[in-house]
Chains A and B, each alone.
Chain A
Amino acid sequence: MNILFYMASIVAVIATLMVILEFNPVHALLYLIVSLLSLAVIFFLLGAPFAAALEVIIYAGAIMVLFVFVVMMLNLGPRSADEERSWHPARVWFGPFLLSAALLAELLFVLRGGGGAGFGEVSPEEVGIALFGPYLLATELASMLLLSGLIGAYHLGRGYGEARRHEPGPVEESTP
């Protein structure tokens, strides 16, 4: 059971190191997703399955997709096709593939009943009861924070869209 934890932590450290050393943003995102998945494995071994599910769904799912969207938006241009072609050679995805294959092996081992690091499991039910019991005020504050983040992102992104819409205006006037 300990070997699972050490394997996952080695994968996490290697993937995080590659995030810092990588020059291509998309490759760095791939490695960061692998790092998040290995942290989810560690959360599961620590008896926190709800935190592990949140790590995969929200962090590796939602937040990293936001990053991918923005990276793809910034790369728009004539050279994006060449970059797209250059993103596909095998050596690019081989590192993340190897690291996540180690995580998959761990997951299969745990699912066959070998898992658990001796920690008592804290079920999602207990987390929910505590979240809406003693932590109710902090939960409301977190919802206010998310609302303010939503409004801020809408405000900034709306200015971006309007500026882009007005951008071709002078060009069209000058061409005839």
Chain B
Amino acid sequence: MTRIVGHVLILAAVLFFLGLIGVLVRRNIVFMLLSIEIMFNAAGLAFVAAGARWAKPDGQIMFIFIVSMAAAEVSVALALVLQMHHRLKILDTDAAKSLRG
């Protein structure tokens, strides 16, 4: 049982790393948001695995908080993507450097 928890943590690390690569490599802002979602999921997976190791509900509660934070973040970020596409006609994050604060 402990061995499986260790493997779940390895899987969470791999998924988090894949999401990090996606954020660093991709320039389309929609794909960057998807990669951020992958990283949230990896963190939630680690929490749920830790909660299952001691059979306590705390890990699932942290997962619920992660989901609510992801919902708030996605709603605001997608509204920003719509604004960016409307003003710049492009989804390239390098094009947004013309905002200049």
Contacts and interface: CB of A to CB of B under 8 A. Distances in A.
B75 A28 contact: no
Nearest to A58: B67
Contacts of A160: 79, 82-83, 86
B75 A149 contact: yes
Nearest to A127: B57
B45 A39 contact: yes
A43 B45 CA distance: 8
Nearest to A59: B67
Given A149-B71, A157-B79, A160-B86, A120 B18 contact: no
B64 A131 contact: yes
A129 B58 CA distance: 11
Contact of B78 (A19, A67, A138): A67
Contact of A119 (B1, B28, B68, B85): B1
Given A28-B31, A131-B61, A122 B52 contact: yes
Interface residues of A, number: 62
B72 interface: yes
B67 A42 contact: no
Contacts of A118: 1, 4
A25 B31 contact: yes
Interface in A85-129: 117-120, 122, 126-127, 129
A96 to B, nearest CB: 15
B51 A48 contact: yes
A74 B81 CA distance: 9
Interface string A51-88: 10011001100110011001101100000000000000
A146 B67 contact: no
A150 B71 CA distance: 10
Interface string B50-68: 0110011111110111011
B75 A152 contact: yes
Chain A CB within 10 Å, residue with most, of B19, B33, B56, B64: B64
B55 A120 contact: yes
24 contacts: A9-B7, A19-B22, A28-B31, A43-B45, A46-B49, A48-B59, A51-B64, A59-B67, A63-B70, A67-B78, A70-B30, A70-B81, A74-B30, A117-B4, A127-B61, A131-B61, A145-B72, A146-B72, A149-B72, A149-B73, A149-B75, A149-B76, A153-B76, A157-B82
The 9 A-B pairs at the shortest CB distance, nearest first, are namely A149-B72, A156-B79, A46-B52, A153-B75, A120-B55, A20-B22, A127-B57, A130-B57, A152-B76
